[in-house]
Amino acid sequence: MLLYYNHCFILRAHCYKHTSPLKRYTFLLSPHTINSQKSGEEKKRLNKAHIRMNHNDNRKSADQECDKVITLEEAYSYCRQISKDHAKTFYLASMFLPKKQQNPIFAIYALLRTVDDTVDLAEVKLSNGLITSNEIQRILDGWKLKLLACYTGKTDNDPIMIAWHDTLKSHSIPIELPLDLMDGVAMDIDFKPFETFDELYVYCYKVAAVVGLMTSEIFGYSDKQALEHAIELGIAMQLTNILRDVGEDVDRGRIYLPLEDLRRFNYSSEELMQKTMNDNFLNLMKFQVERARGYYRSSAKGIPMLEKRSRFGVAISSVNYGNILTAIEKNQYDVFSKRAYRSFFQKISTIPYVWYKTHTCS
């Protein structure tokens, strides 16, 4: 699934939490002048934003070539390249989908990634006083208008909208889903810590679970209950992103873990912001990992409900993303100085088992 994800994507799986991000708007400061004042993680984040800015400046120039009408083939090729460049795990999994499902999946990813990246870049500008929260909201409102127009058949020679509109011809994707996603990424603009898991759940639903609902319409399913399990997988993946990125988020002054959970394990926000590793933190992380695993386990019940040709791609994504939790455990829950990840070899090594399981289940 997306997420991003990150990533997704999306969306950034927001490949930050959402690190899933794309951009159309000009980054007004050179990363070289900013980087001299930033930490290592912040430098890396700003460099990524600068690279995405160049990508979208090129897209903007292409959009302005009014005499060049973008073909459907070119539109899908553009969306595919976004997936290939920004979400390698997602792209690898998509290669196992039937050909006729790949293009719609790439169209979904490209839209969500682009919107997410727009917000991600805007956040960088916001932190440097180059844009206001209201201006970012207007940018998101602009994307909502583009999407609403797309649902009425107007694509404005935009490759993503052309691909999305073509996808809608054969797949019923309620407009509320991508709109929910946009509302979700907007929650990162004026970020406020989540007091309860219920509040975090709403965020995870909007930035990740809706991706599962959209892609389910592409995959096909035999039982509506599959949609509930798609939501669970999205929640599981987003929780995984959050746990993997705890240290990076602290560097950004953010806490995504529910504050009620910190209190439950007698671990303070101040300790988290200081990256304190103690028994209380380990118990907190063990609880979070097990919660995420519970969502993965429940979501697995939905895979047999998908059309048989779609099961492998979803299952391989779920297994490989879920194994990030194992990597966190192997790092002894040190999410401050070690990044939990799966190597390419580790990812492909799961293929035989998942292939057998998805082709023998009823």
Residue 175 domain-assigned (yes or no): yes
Residue 26 domain-assigned (yes or no): no
Pairwise pLDDT comparison (360 vs 108), residue with the higher score: 108
Tell me the C-alpha distance between 108 and 130, whole Å. Answer: 30
**Number of folded domains that form the chain:** 1
Residue 128 domain-assigned (yes or no): yes
pTM over 0.85: no
CATH number of the domain bearing residue 181: 1.10.600.10
Give me the half-sphere count of Cα atoms (radius 13 Å) on the Cβ side of residue 117. 35
Residue 23 domain-assigned (yes or no): no
Tell me the C-alpha distance between 230 and 351, whole Å. Answer: 21
Give the tokens for residue 237: 């993946």
Instruction: Kindly indicate the confidence band of residue 361, based on its pLDDT and cuts at 50, 70 and 90.
Output: low
- Residue 273 contacts by C-beta under 8 Å, 6 or more apart in sequence? 250, 253, 255
Residue 352 domain-assigned (yes or no): yes
Average pLDDT score over the chain: 82
Pairwise pLDDT comparison (342 vs 106), residue with the higher score: 106
**Each residue's pLDDT tens digit, 256-290:** 999 999 999 999 999 999 999 999 999 999 999 99
What is residue 288's predicted lDDT score, i.e. its pLDDT?
98
Give the type of residue at 316: I
Which range among 77-91, 179-193, 235-249, 290-304 shows the weakest confidence by mean pLDDT? Answer: 77-91
Q: What would you report as the CA-atom Rg of the chain, rounded to the nearest whole angstrom?
A: 20
Give the tokens for residue 307: 């059309």
**Each residue's pLDDT tens digit, 210-244:** 999 999 999 999 999 999 999 999 999 999 999 99
What is residue 56's predicted lDDT score, i.e. its pLDDT?
52
Residue 20 domain-assigned (yes or no): no
What are the CA-CA distances from residue 195 to residues 74, 156, 273, 295, 355 (Å)?
A: 45, 42, 16, 20, 40
Residue 109 domain-assigned (yes or no): yes
Residue 25 domain-assigned (yes or no): no
By residue range, what is the domain housing residue 196?
A: 31-360
**Each residue's pLDDT tens digit, 288-345:** 999 999 999 999 999 999 999 889 888 988 998 999 999 999 999 999 999 998 777 7
